[in-house]
Amino acid sequence: MPLRYGSARSLRERSTDVERLLWSRLRNRQLSGCKFRRQQPIGSFVADFVCLEYRLVIELDGGQHAEQQSQDEVRSAFLHKEGYRVLRFWNNQVLGELDSVLEVINSALAHSAHPSPNPLPQGERA
């Protein structure tokens, strides 16, 4: 979602049930000890979830994404160009197959190259 649609903080405050469910399993380094952020600005977009260390973005797609596939492709292309891997899950996958979704994310982390050698921008903490 381009930043013009709202700030990341506002998006975090308005999280969907599906986002809150996945966040409950990603937060506090619960998955492979990796630090995830939610509703993280990257360029002019806001990623649903991101692990900056492994440059992994996780996007959750609801029914509206069926109509905006070309926008999602532009977003994914931008993220890839910036060095991120993008995993997309439908909301119903998270709701009905949470353990499988977590296994896919965990596998992506395990098969990632070493963590990004780039330090976080000044003033940001992991």
Give domain limits for the chain: 1-20+59-89
Q: What is the DSSP string of 30-54?
A: TTTT---EEEEEETTEEEEEEETTT
User: pLDDT digits over 100-117, tens only?
Assistant: 999 999 999 998 866 655
What backbone phi and psi angles, to 5 degrees, belong to 50? -150, 140
**Tokens encoding 4:** 């013009």
User: pLDDT digits over 22-52, tens only?
Assistant: 999 999 999 999 999 999 999 999 999 999 9
